[in-house]
Chain A
Amino acid sequence: MKFIAVLRQVPDNEAKLKIEGGQVSLGGVTLILDGMDEWAVEEVIRLKEAHGGEAVVMALGPERFEEALRTALAMGADRAVHLVAEGYVDPISQAQHLAETIREEAPTLVFTGGQQADWDSQALGPALAEALGWPVVTWTTQLELEGETQAKAKHDLDEGAELVRVPLPAVFTSQQGLNEPRYPTLPGIMKAKKKELRKVPLSVQSKVEVLEQTIQERQRLNQVIDGSKDPVAAANQLIRLLHEEAKVI
């Protein structure tokens, strides 16, 4: 069996974002494998360990994405395919290009993150499924293969959850609770350097243009009340401020 995870590289959670020339500037920012994609990578490695076959990781994005692919290889993926495209490419166009490569690989299933931590998009998984003509399960918290042709999955809805049976091949997107990702080990990192990472240069026309990005943080009052010595006085002051000054209670 063959299991594919599609991933992205995004700013680290602690990174301070800056805007330059109306766009988010990633210069000097630590970039990491997207946290929700990490769950997807972990899941395909586990599936391969449990059922045999191959765990392949794939990405469509700029040169720098190679690092995130290497992280996934260091975690235990067998090989990587990198469709290299600079600049912004919307998820629908991405899906159209990735689907061609995925179709050639003919996997049992594809996993990707539930929501991208850079573009806040949830579209890649379902758009891939459509491009491939496969069903999709989003926000997956549990997955169990039933042979090679179907799987049982649990996934979150807007409210509540659902247990579904899904014919394979299919696309799944990740949600918290799916697994606890392993850390790459030192031998893993060494081995990853020798694993196959195939690059395919791509020129893609994005259907969506990002005109301008801004950081519109609400100006906060940042008023600090010391509650360590007299918690009752601090609490009274806070309730009074919320009632009289902010007028929200």
Chain B
Amino acid sequence: MTGLITPVRGLLGARARTYREHLDTVGPLPAVGAEQLVQLVAAAGLTGRGGAGFPSARKLAAVGSRRSPVVVANGAEGEPASSKDRALLIHTPHLVLDGLVLAARAVGCRTAYVYAPESVLDSSIRPALTQRRDRLTITPVPSADTFISGQETAVVAAVQGLRPVPTSTPPPIYVKGVKGRATLVHNVETLAQVALIARYGATWFRERGTDDDPGTRLLTLSGAVARPNVYEVAGGTTLGEAISAAGGALEPIQAVLVGGYHGGWVPWTAHAAQCPLTRTGLSAYEAHPGAGILVALPARRCGLKAAAGLATYLAGQNAGQCGPCRNGLPALAGHLQDLVQRRSPAHNHEEILRLVGTVDGRGACHHPTGTTRMIRTALRTFRNEVELHVAGACTELQGSRKGA
């Protein structure tokens, strides 16, 4: 056994390409038992980092009580504006694999999978697997390059060799997942945190962050910020602090897309800048931190045009399975594009509001709900832009700048 190991600062402090380097950096994997591990994760207050933010210990416990379960590390990261999972898998593959081994131990499972883009499996995960000896079979499964490939039921389908599209629930995958077995799908960042918590403890984890949002989380910042990149911040970090972490705004900005394409547009105001990036902190804006995605929108851009672009992309990413999603999202995107073009703006605006109300929640997965949320928050945040369009104008065409 290695002697005293100084705990690393966080996920990004645990960079290591080889297994040797990894052990030197973070220390050996401790021999924690299943029950102890679930208790540790519960005491740490770790929540899922894939977007839904569900308490991780509850997921472990739900699957752990069932026979011959399956565990999957989910690194599909279908969100175009996110790159933290890729960064983590490339720079700290062994930390993620340790987390997978621990989660498997916690639920008593012998079959595990790493689901991630082929390029990441090839350059990082497969080489890492050859360097370690785990008593667990870990199989890499390439993820599809689609927005919804990381939805849990789509992950289950992909692992079984089926088309990676969501399936209808209930039953939930923790009851019936891969080949009918109880299945635990954890985001790769969540697993990496489990690997650190098992080593350094729940108290160490809570040294950073707040009671409401303990520990650290990864953010992907892009758009009009000085240094777009992946950052690790303490839980409870405000929107303003996050933008500052990326070097601040490059030019006047008017809004930030928080939580990715299924997230919410938050107006860049003094009030919003002080909101913690948590579910409660962002509730006034109907936004949520999701997988830690922030995109800053310049003031000179038309917010409606940006939202219409996202809606068109999301409409094209529907899996074609569910009527309201397959028909509703393209219709919504079409009305948004027409509104941007000022074809018959007042009518388009009304139709968008009506369709948002009918499509919401009606599909096998969250794609319709996430898409309508993004559109609803866009109409609210860019209501001045809506009025401009109804009056036949547009910020971008006029080249006029709005005040920040």
Asked if A pairs with B, the answer is no
